Structures are given as C-alpha cells and as structure tokens.
Structure 1
Amino acid sequence: MTRRQFSREFKREAVQLVLERGVSVAQAARDLDLHQTVLRRWITQYRDQPAGAFPGQGKLTPADDEVRRLKREVARLKAERDILKKGRGLLRQGPAVMFGFIAKHRGIWPVSWMCGALGVSRSGFHAWLIRSPSARARSDEALGARVRASFLLSDRTYGARRVWRDMLAEGISCGLHRIERLMREQALRARPRRRQLPKDSGTRSVIAPNVLERDFRADRPNRKWVADFTYIWTAQGWLYLAVVLDLFSRRVVGWSMKDAMTAQMVTDALMMAIWRRGRPDTLLHHSDQGSQYTSESFQRLMADHGITCSMSRSGNCWDNAAMESFFSSLKVERIRGQVYRTRDQARADVFDYIERFYNPRRRHSTLGYLSPMDYERRAMEA
C-alpha cells in the first residue's frame, strides 16, 4: 500500500478548516478522509510555527531538518570511531580479513559505513561474499580449528610455540608465524606470566652446603631432585603442596598435599618419589632451609636411602629456580583466577594438573617442547 502524501497547501487548508471555520476535528477528519491523530498533529505544528509550518512536502521545518542531518552525522562518526576501535588491528591485514569483519558486524553497523571506515569498496565486499574461498583460506580454516583445539586442550595456557609443536607432532607442516597469525585472528592468548626478579642476597646454609650450585642439568633420571612447597588458598583455609621434581625431565615424581605445613608433608612427597622411581643411587636432593626439610625425620629418611642433601642459601630462590618455575607454571596455568570452595576441590584440581596435564602432555621449552614423560620415553629408547 502506497503511503499517502499531502502538500503544504492541503495541510494549511485542513488546519484552517478547524481553527478558522469552526469545524470539529472529528468532522474535518471524516470529510478529508484523514485520521484524527494526523490532523491534530498538523494543528499542533501550525500553532507552534504558523509561518514555518509544513516546509516543502510538509515533513520538517528547516531547523528540524538540520538537527536531523546533524544527528545522522554524529551517529555515523560515532559508528566509525567504534568500527576503528574494534577493528584497529585489521588495517594491517589483507582485504579478506577486513571483509570478514564487515560480514560479521553487518547487524551492528551499515555496510557502507564500515567499508568507508576501513577503506575498502562496497562492490569488493559484495564480490567477496559470493566468491568461493581460496585454497589458502580453506587451509587456514582447517588449521585454525586444530590450533584452537590445541589451545583449549592446554586449558588456554599454550602460546604459539607450544601450539606449533603440537601441529608438528600431528604431522602438519606449517610455520610458526602462521600459527601466530591464526591465534591472533581467533584472539587466542595464553595467560601472561608474572615476572619479577628476586634479589640475590642469600647466605650459605649451615645445615647443608649448596651442592647443586644452580646446575639444573642432569644426564640421567634420578640423579638430581629438587623440592619445595607452596600455598594454595581455599574458602576453608590454606592448602599446602609439597613437590619433588626430577631435573632430568622436569617430571613431578613426588607430591603431597595437606592442610598443615608439617615435616610429614615433605616426607610423604619424598617417599612417593622413592616408591615411584625405585631406591635411588647417588642421588642429590636439593631444597631450601625450611624447618620441614631440616627436621630430624626428613634428614633421617634421606640418610637411610643414601641421598645427598643440598640446600639453597637462606632467602635465595634463585638457588632453586627450577622448582620456582614449576610453581609459577602451576599458578599461572591453573590456580590463578580459580575460587576453591574446599580443600578437596583444590586437591582434585592440582592432581589433575600434575598427573593428567603437566607430566604426560605439557610441552616444556627446556626439553625441546616435549612433555616430561615423552622426554623420558625417548631417552629410554635412544
């Protein structure tokens, strides 16, 4: 149905029929085949501006028309600002990436506005819409899905290098920069690691010397173990985690979790390592000078198994940097941002990280981007 239009003259005569000739609004509306609401609106406009009412086709006064034009201009400028803010990284990308952005946001902003803000043509965009994707685009889409799967499987902790190693392990030939681009396009970002250099101002231990001397390399398993414990906050209070790490493969060979910071906790972690790895031969065990590690029960356990004791200098975390690195990974990749309601919930999550992710699957840069278990397996086969 075509919308009816009325000239300025018709509207003035209709208004005067009511205002000057005394015809009721209802009667005038019936005679002129108008809706009463329309006629009342014309009367209001005429009373407000008798001389300037109904300009042109009678839609807006010149002032109102200018206000509407300015509002449209302001809306367009705001949209362009938001478009450039949301798509600021696209200006360095190819047209296909910008066209994808436009297609994704067509329901928010007009296509013409987005094309103008990003400096591409509307005809090019519409041609891109109906054009079949190139072989490269199809390959990127398939590889991007695998990249995302690897990233999510790592609990959103892998950066481009570890994801790249996953792709190579699956037999996919691709470059690191391509993985970086695909991750950037999908906004896949690993959790950032907090880095702060501690002061190296420790003093020599009087309990045991620092035999390790920051040599964190080991030529075989069960030659050098490092140990320490950390704290995990839960709604029920602190949960304490003690860990023993084999420096050969960076594998967690022993751990214990308790709600009290006791010597029994670190003793249980060492016992688990001994049960798992067998009775050690010429093994060096390195820890800090905490009272748990200097306790009589722990020192007796090491002496009974012929384990050489090594301890960091007091207040010096650099002397046990490999252990600190593991705890940093644990907290960045799993604990940070978690809210544990109970200690049991925290225990289950830490167990999952160590036994189901870190040891069997997490790619370690020190090991040539192999997981600790894969590194040991390859060393045994060599």
Structure 2
Amino acid sequence: MSELRSYVSANEPLSVRKQCALLGINRSTLYYDAVGESPENLEVMRHMDEEFTKHPTHGVLQMQDFLLALSFTVNAKRIRRLLRKMGIMALYPRRNLSKLGHAKYIRPYLLRNLAVIRPNQVWAIDITYIPMAKGFMYMTAIVDVYSRYIVAWDVFNSLDAKNSLAVLKSALAHHGKPEIINSDQGSQFTCALWTEYVEEVAKIKISMDGRGRALDNIFIERFWRTVKQDYVYICPASDGTELYKGLSEFVSYYNNVKTHQGIGRTKPVDLYTAAA
C-alpha cells in the first residue's frame, strides 16, 4: 500500500482521484497520518478512552481520579482539552448545550418507538477516537440498525464534517439509501454541509440523539466497544496504513463472520442481504 501511495503525485496531468482509481487505492489513504501529542498525553488519552468505553458517564473529575489511581497527575484543564481533542463527552443530561450558530441545524430524534423491521430503513453514523502506538486517528462508521451491518467506514486525522459526508457518500454508492440516518448533535452533523446534502440532495430524513442520551445511538456505540476491545487496544497500529488494513479485516470479520446475540445469534451480512 505504501509503495502504491508513493506513485500518486499532485503534479501529474491526471487528477489525484483518477490516479488513485487506476492504482486501485482509496484516495483518503494518502492522508493517513496519525495526529500527534506528547508520549505522556498519548498514554493518558489511551487510558481515558478505555475508561470511557467501559464507563461513558465519567466526566472530567472522575477521569482525573481514575488517572490519579494510575499514578498520572493531570489537571482538569488538560483532561478537558484532551477529551475534546478525542471527541469525547460524558453521557448525562445537560442544559443549553447547543452551540450558537448550530441550533438551526439540529433535528429531532425520530427513532423513539419506531419499529425497525428491514435493512436500509435506519442507518446510524458516529465518529470515535482510535489510539495508535504513536499518535491517534478518528474512525467514522455507519451501521444499518436492523442488521448491525457496517455499510461504510473510514479513518481520518481530523473531525471535519467533509469526512463524515465522504463516508455517507460511499455507503450510498454501494448500498442504496436509508429512509432515516441518525447521528449525535456533534458539529460535524449540525452544519449546513451535512444537513443540506442529506435532506436536499440525498432526500434522507435526519434524526439526532438527544444531548447526553446514552441509549439513542446504542448500536453504533456497541460497535465501537467491540472494535476497540477486540482489536484496537490489543493491536495498536504503528501507522495509518497498518490501522486501515487492520480495521478492514476486523470490519469484514464483524460483518461476515461474527454472530450477534441482539439479532438472534446471526451474522449481520445474512440479515442485511436476505432482505435488502
């Protein structure tokens, strides 16, 4: 993969997109550079991510106590900064959390009491922090709620809204479109770029979790817990290319081999393709 990437040049007559298509590589792999922090901060972030995966209601002060028990003396300001960089927010009810300028893009939660009875009825999208041996990246994934099938995913070195939109476009190109797509109220989704494309171009209904509600996007949260505990924490990648390859193998296993108790101990691929 790294050898193929070296052949791509912005100075060639062909566009970067066409060069990648001819070489059979994903254009986004050209930008798989891990985000850096100091070695101590990276270790702190890895520990906080593991703790948050187990206890998503833990806030700054509880994280501070948790780190102190591990012999890390970290002030609250530093913990808050690192959690924000990781895209982590404790799950508990809050007031007045909508960012000014983004409130008009927030949509209601449409899944309450909705019977999800078929594939491509509801998709859920989310972003998570992925620790690596040296640095970290962010993974965006979309799950079909009915079958638990991961319809698209990718890794990036930023939380830009365009990354989430790229993953959605990939899912639409390969699997058609859902009736509803659910997300949290993160800035990647409460913006014109996301809402205008989803609603006006793709003609998909947007649903958004209530702020601080742990169960509104439970199926994608379960996938994050599985991919981190079964792969990311056990096999920290040394670079973005290794991470992408490892995640590709794990997502394939998750979709095509692993059985899920929540869907009657069947494989997501069987449930998704049987009725899609």
Deviation at 1:249, TM superposition (A): 0.5
- Alignment partners' CA distance in 2, 1:260 and 1:200: 25
Q: Are residue 371 (structure 1) and residue 267 (structure 2) matched?
A: yes
| Matched ranges for 1:154-303 at <5 A | 195-196=54-55, 198=57, 200-202=92-94, 206=103, 207-213=106-112, 215=114, 217-278=115-176, 280=177, 283-303=179-199
> Closer, same or farther in 2 for the Cα pair 1:202/1:352, shift >3 Å?
farther
Amino acid at match of 2:242: Q
Alignment length (residue pairs): 183
> Closer, same or farther in 2 for the Cα pair 1:245/1:333, shift >3 Å?
same
> Closer, same or farther in 2 for the Cα pair 1:235/1:197, shift >3 Å?
closer
Amino acid at match of 2:182: H
Which residue matches 2:237? 340
Amino acid at match of 1:231: Y
| Matched ranges for 1:1-382 at <5 A | 195-196=54-55, 198=57, 200-202=92-94, 206=103, 207-213=106-112, 215=114, 217-278=115-176, 280=177, 283-303=179-199, 304-355=201-252, 357-379=253-275
* Structure 2 counterpart SS, 1:349: helix
Deviation at 1:203, TM superposition (A): 5.8
Structure 1's unaligned 5+ residue stretches are 1-193
Amino acid at match of 2:108: P
> Closer, same or farther in 2 for the Cα pair 1:325/1:235, shift >3 Å?
same
> Closer, same or farther in 2 for the Cα pair 1:323/1:300, shift >3 Å?
same
Instruction: Report if the CA contact (8 A) 1:255-1:268 is conserved.
Output: no
Deviation at 1:313, TM superposition (A): 1.5
> Closer, same or farther in 2 for the Cα pair 1:365/1:250, shift >3 Å?
same
Deviation at 1:287, TM superposition (A): 0.4
Q: TM-score, normalised by structure 1?
A: 0.45
- Alignment partners' CA distance in 2, 1:326 and 1:268: 20
Amino acid at match of 2:258: R
- Alignment partners' CA distance in 2, 1:310 and 1:325: 19
Instruction: Report if the CA contact (8 A) 1:255-1:269 is conserved.
Output: yes
Amino acid at match of 2:138: Y
Deviation at 1:276, TM superposition (A): 1.3
Deviation at 1:235, TM superposition (A): 3.8
- Alignment partners' CA distance in 2, 1:368 and 1:254: 23
Which residue matches 1:145? none
Deviation at 1:317, TM superposition (A): 2.7
* Structure 2 counterpart SS, 1:359: helix
> Closer, same or farther in 2 for the Cα pair 1:323/1:349, shift >3 Å?
same
Instruction: Report if the CA contact (8 A) 1:214-1:319 is conserved.
Output: no
Deviation at 1:341, TM superposition (A): 1.2
Q: Deviations over 1:160-179 (max 9, x none)?
A: xxxxxxxxxxxxxxxxxxxx
Instruction: Report if the CA contact (8 A) 1:202-1:313 is conserved.
Output: no
Deviation at 1:256, TM superposition (A): 1.9
Deviation at 1:229, TM superposition (A): 0.7
> Closer, same or farther in 2 for the Cα pair 1:236/1:289, shift >3 Å?
same
- Alignment partners' CA distance in 2, 1:231 and 1:197: 14
* Structure 2 counterpart SS, 1:245: strand
Deviation at 1:301, TM superposition (A): 1.6
Q: TM-score, normalised by structure 2?
A: 0.61
Q: State, as a whole percentage, how many aligned pairs show the same letter.
A: 26
Which runs of at least 4 in structure 1 moved beyond 4 Å after TM superposition?
A: 202-206
Instruction: Report if the CA contact (8 A) 1:251-1:359 is conserved.
Output: yes
Structure 2's unaligned 5+ residue stretches are 1-52, 58-90
Greater helix fraction, Structure 1 or Structure 2: 1
- Alignment partners' CA distance in 2, 1:221 and 1:359: 14
- Alignment partners' CA distance in 2, 1:196 and 1:258: 25
* Structure 1 counterpart SS, 2:256: coil
Structure showing greater Rg: 1
